[in-house]
Amino acid sequence: MSNDSRIEIKKVRTKKERREFLEFPLRMYKNNPCFVPPLYADEKKIFDKNFVYNDTCVAEYFLAVRDGRTVGRISAIIQKASNLKTGEKRVRFTRFDSINDKAVAAALFGAVEDFARTNGMDTVCGPLGFSDLEREGLLIEGFDELSTFEEQYNAEYYKILLDSCGYKKEVDWIESKIYLPEDPESIAAMEKMSDFVMKRYGLRIGEAKNVKDFLNRYGDGFFELLDVAYDGLYGTVPFTDGMKKMMMDNFRLIIDLKHVVVILNEENKIVCLGICFPSLAKALQKSNGHLTPAALVRVLKAIKKPKIIDLGLIAVDPAYLNRGVNAIVASGLMKMLQNDGVEYAETNLNLEDNLAIQSQWKRFKNIQHKRRRSYIKTL
C-alpha cells in the first residue's frame, strides 16, 4: 500500500463517482493523437444491474483521489468462469489509469490486492477484462502508433508503475500492420493454394444475401467454432448467451460482408472464419467516444469506405489446422486489402508464442509495431 496519507481510495458507488471513473482517462489523453476512446455508451454498461457479465463475474471499481482531485482509477474482476476453467483463484485488474506517480499506483493495486484476499483469491493478473472481447494488455511498445478501437492506449510510464508494484510478465501479445505482398505473383499463388485446399477437402465459401441473413445462417456456428478454436488461448472464457447477443448486436452495426470469410465443409459446418471490421479509431477520437451526430457520420463513412481494417476474429477448427486451411484465410484477407481505399490491416493482439498465426503474416508485407503485456503477481 502507499505511504502517502493524502491518497484516498474510493469504491465507486455514486452516479458522480461512476461518471468520474469513466471520464478520467478521457481527460488524461484528450490531446494525445494515439489514444482512441471506447464507446462511452458501452462503457457505462459496466455499472448496469443487468450488465452482460454479471452472471459470471464479480467486479469492484476504485478511484484514487488526492487533495480533492482524481489521480487514478482501476477495476478488479473475479472471472468465475475463467477460474472454474483453469482451477485457479485469480483476480483480474483492468481499466487501470494513473498519473505518473508510484504512490498512486501502489494505492490502487493495494486496493485490488485487498479485494482479492478478502474474496479468497491468491493471484492478481492483467490488464484483462471480463472476457477477451474487451480491451486487454498493457502497451509496452508502440506509443507513437494510433491505437485501434478494440484496444486500449496507455502512457509509457505505466510499465514502470507496474514494475514498482511487484508485477511481472506473464504473456505478451504483438500487433502488426499487414499490407498486400509487393509481388503480384505471391497474391496469385496464394489464391491458387486456397483453391487447391478448398477442392481437396470439399470446402466452400458460405454465402449470404446481407448481414442479417449472414447472422441468421452462421451465428450459432461461428460461436461454436470460436469456443473450440480459442479454448486453450490465454484469458479466454466460453461464450454465454448474453455475450453472443452482445456480439451479434455489434456485428449488425459494423460488419460489411466484403470483410467476412466463412468456410463450410460438406456437412455445412463452419471450419474456418475470418471477420474484420472497418477501423473506427479516427471516427471516434474527436467526440471522445460519444456518438454525436457528427461522430455518427464519420463512423458510417468509415464503415462504407475504410482506409484501415481491423482483424477481429480469426478461427480454424483444430481438425483442419494442419491441412492448409490458413491459406484460405490469407487469400481472403488479400482480397479485402485489394478493395478500393484500404491501405492496410491491423492484426490486433496475437500471442507471441502463437507460431501458427505469426507464420500466417509472413505471406504479407508486415510491420510489427506494437507489443502488449499481461502481468501477474502472487499474493
Per-residue pLDDT, 314: 87
User: Quick one: pLDDT at residue 34?
Assistant: 97
Give the model's pLDDT for residue 2: 54
Give residue-wise pLDDT tens across range 229-283: 888 889 999 899 999 899 888 888 888 888 888 999 999 999 998 889 999 999 9
Could you tell me which of 69, 113, 51 has the C-alpha nearest to residue 246? 51
- Residues 177, 74: Cα–Cα separation, whole Å: 30
Residues of the chain falling short of pLDDT 70: 1-3
Give this prediction's pTM. Answer: 0.93
Confidence (pLDDT) at 330:
87
Where b means 16+ CB within 10 Å and e means fewer, 86-119 reads eeeebbbbbbbbbbebbbbbbbbbbbbbbbbeee
